[in-house]
Amino acid sequence: MPRLGDVETASKYMYIETQTFSGLTIEKAKFVDLKGIYKSKYEQFIDKLENPKYTNKIDNITNIDNLSYADCIKKYDSKYTFFYCDPPYFNMEDYYTKEFGHDEHLKLSETLKSIKGKFALSYYDFPLLSKWFPKSKYNWQEKAFNRQNSSKKVGTAKGKEILILNY
């Protein structure tokens, strides 16, 4: 049986994380009062933790790593591995993290191009993306979506998410 760490701190962190959306960090997060209309993300998360449909899966988790993308790919890459990568938006890295700078996008692209396994890479389009992952070599899937809180700004209601696949 694995030993648990600081459960109280982990619980507080999980609560804050489940109350944020769209890349907000804990420092920028604000509490949203749903006035009883919807369950909070925390309550939804707890419901899943108590549901046998999910607890059986959770009980089978034997290892959790906290690695950089480069170390994770190096450790787990094989012809049987699938990687889903969702890096910070290009030119908005500071909004999410200080660890993933501008140069990391190119490093990630070079790493993914050299793996044995399969990958799906999620991005919004930017000019270098088609240079790094030409549509003639990679499978590009595009999907339009409604942006959060876009009704407050004219002309920002729709966005386009790109999923780049090496299969």
**Residue 62 DSSP label:** -
- 3-state class (DSSP) for residue 135: coil
- For residues 68-84, average pLDDT: 96
Where on the phi/psi map is residue 5: left (φ > 0), alpha (ψ -120 to 50), or beta?
Answer: beta
pLDDT at 8: 67
Q: Where are the domains of the chain?
A: 7-59, 69-165
Instruction: Report the pLDDT value the prediction gives residue 157, as an integer from 0 to 100.
Output: 62
pLDDT the model gives residue 144:
82
Read off φ and ψ for residue 113, nearest 5 degrees.
-70, -15
Q: What are phi and psi of 158, to 5 degrees?
A: -115, 145
Q: Bigger pLDDT: 105 or 17?
A: 105
Q: What is the pLDDT of residues 30-69, one digit of tens each?
A: 556 667 677 766 677 778 778 888 878 777 877 778 889 9
| C-alpha torsion angle, residues 65, 68, 74, 75 (rounded to 10) | -10
pTM for the model: 0.65
pLDDT score of 1 more than 50: no
Alpha-carbon span 12 to 34, nearest angstrom: 19
Q: In the prediction, which pLDDT does 119 show?
A: 98
**Alpha-carbon dihedral 96, 97, 100, 102, rounded to 10 degrees:** 60
Rg of the chain taking only CA atoms, in angstroms:
19
- Rounded CA-CA distance 108/165 in Å is 14
pLDDT one-digit tens code per residue, 122-160: 998 888 999 999 999 999 999 887 665 544 555 556 778
Superfamily of domain 69-165: Vaccinia Virus protein VP39 (3.40.50.150)
- At 89 the pLDDT is 80
From CA 87, how far away is CA 93, in angstroms rounded?
Answer: 9
Q: Bridge-partner residues for 124, per DSSP?
A: 161
User: Are 157 and 147 in contact, with CB atoms under 8 Å apart?
Assistant: yes
